[in-house]
Amino acid sequence: MKNTTLKPRTPVYIIGSASVVGQQERKGPIGASFDISEKDDFGMDSFEKAEAKMQCLALGCAMSKAGLTEADLDCMLAGDLINQCISSSYGLMDYRIPYFGLYGACSTCAEGLLLGALSGLDRCAAVTSSHFCSAERQFRFPLEYGGQRPPTSQWTVTGSGAFILSTLERDCVRVQGDFVPEITELLPGCIVDRGISDAGNMGAAMAPAAADTLERYFQAGHTPEESDLIVTGDLGHLGMDLLLQLARDDGMNLGGKLTDCGTLVFDNTVQDVHAGGSGCGCSASVLAGHILQCMAKGIWNRVLFAATGALMSTTSSQQGQSIPGICHAVAIENEVK
């Protein structure tokens, strides 16, 4: 492994993005930034089908904002938390677009952006989702059981985010007027396992991976001053505190630039979400909504988006294994035309 970041060989622009969320997310502090929100069942007869429908809606909305149809896309990169990533495959199978399935847990949004940007294809889509009810049922307990969630637990965001990447200069001139975010730098993460085995404390499992990736990023010659914002996703309040502590211990300067998608999406003083938001859909919908909108307004011009994932499974947890984490980083810059 080399101690350098990767740069796309040709400029990669985000020419369209869309977010789809449920009710809890709409009521949160950045609720107005999401494109679509519906009741949590999205009119479907299971939560898994509802999650699939969110991906379908998100990609459709992002393509429409980019003024493209499925015939214009070279591929879609998508993943989610549900076993065998069925929210992605069933949600996107009606689009006649070549499909790459990903599994990066809650880091999947960044993984998709990273692989899409590396591919150098003319146009591709990165899509991901999570759903509170399908995730609780699969990873913890079905909602009907009424299990108590520990204070360290995070609330899986019911949400989906879709992004259309293009390397075609004419696309970014055409679609978004004076705001065209560009993906300028990439740093894929290594798997980091510090022995956390509490499936109710994802923040602790992921914080060391975030510290590892950020440390590699700064070792590659970067400074926190270069970015207007460093946003992890989705450490939540406890995970973010741990990351700050790890950074202090390692002498890593984050320059007061750190925030986290899991802390932005809910207000845990009034919403009963314990340590904050999580899930593939958290960082994806917060990036597609709040963050890119703030960049469009010129509030931030360079954002380091460092999405974290806990690579856990009920199978490995039941076999006594600890929870490895991963963090992929993508630098997004406001390309003012």
Cβ closer to a copy of itself: 22 or 112?
A: 112
Draw the binding track, 55-94, toward a copy of itself (x: CB under 8 A; -: no contact): ---------------xx-xxx---x-xxxxxx--xx-xx-
Task: Work out whether 336 is an interface residue with a copy of itself (CB under 8 A).
Answer: no
Cβ closer to a copy of itself: 73 or 295?
A: 73
Query: Site size for a copy of itself, by CB under 8 A?
Result: 57
User: Which sign does the torsion angle of CA 161, 166, 169, 175 carry?
Assistant: negative
Instruction: Give the pairing of strands 159-166 and 123-130.
Output: antiparallel
| Least distance to a copy of itself, CB of residue 39, Å | 19
Residue 48 has φ and ψ, to the nearest 5°, of -65, -40
All residues at 6 or more sequence positions from 319 whose CB lies less than 8 Å from its CB, including other chains: none
Task: Work out whether 170 is an interface residue with a copy of itself (CB under 8 A).
Answer: no
Task: Work out whether 184 is an interface residue with a copy of itself (CB under 8 A).
Answer: no
Asked whether the beta carbons of 152 and 201 are under 8 A apart, the reply is yes
Asked whether the beta carbons of 143 and 302 are under 8 A apart, the reply is no
Answer for which of 67, 103, 140, 228 binds a copy of itself (CB under 8 A) is: 103
Answer for which of 35, 40, 111, 182 binds a copy of itself (CB under 8 A) is: 111
Task: Work out whether 210 is an interface residue with a copy of itself (CB under 8 A).
Answer: no
Tokens of 76: 């879609």
Tokens of 121: 């294809």
Asked whether the beta carbons of 31 and 42 are under 8 A apart, the reply is no
CA atoms within 13 A on the CB side of 109: 34
Q: Is 146 helix (H, G, I), strand (E, B) or coil?
A: coil
Task: Work out whether 143 is an interface residue with a copy of itself (CB under 8 A).
Answer: no
Alpha-carbon Rg of the chain, whole angstroms? 18
Draw the binding track, 2-41, toward a copy of itself (x: CB under 8 A; -: no contact): x---x--x--------------------------------
Answer for which of 16, 28, 60, 104 binds a copy of itself (CB under 8 A) is: 104
C-alpha distance from residue 20 to each of 118, 150, 161 (Å): 26, 27, 7
Cβ closer to a copy of itself: 121 or 252?
A: 121
Binding site for a copy of itself (CB under 8 A): 1-2, 6, 9, 46, 48-49, 70-71, 73-75, 79, 81-86, 89-90, 92-93, 96-105, 111, 114-115, 118-121, 138, 187-191, 193, 311-316, 319, 321, 324, 326
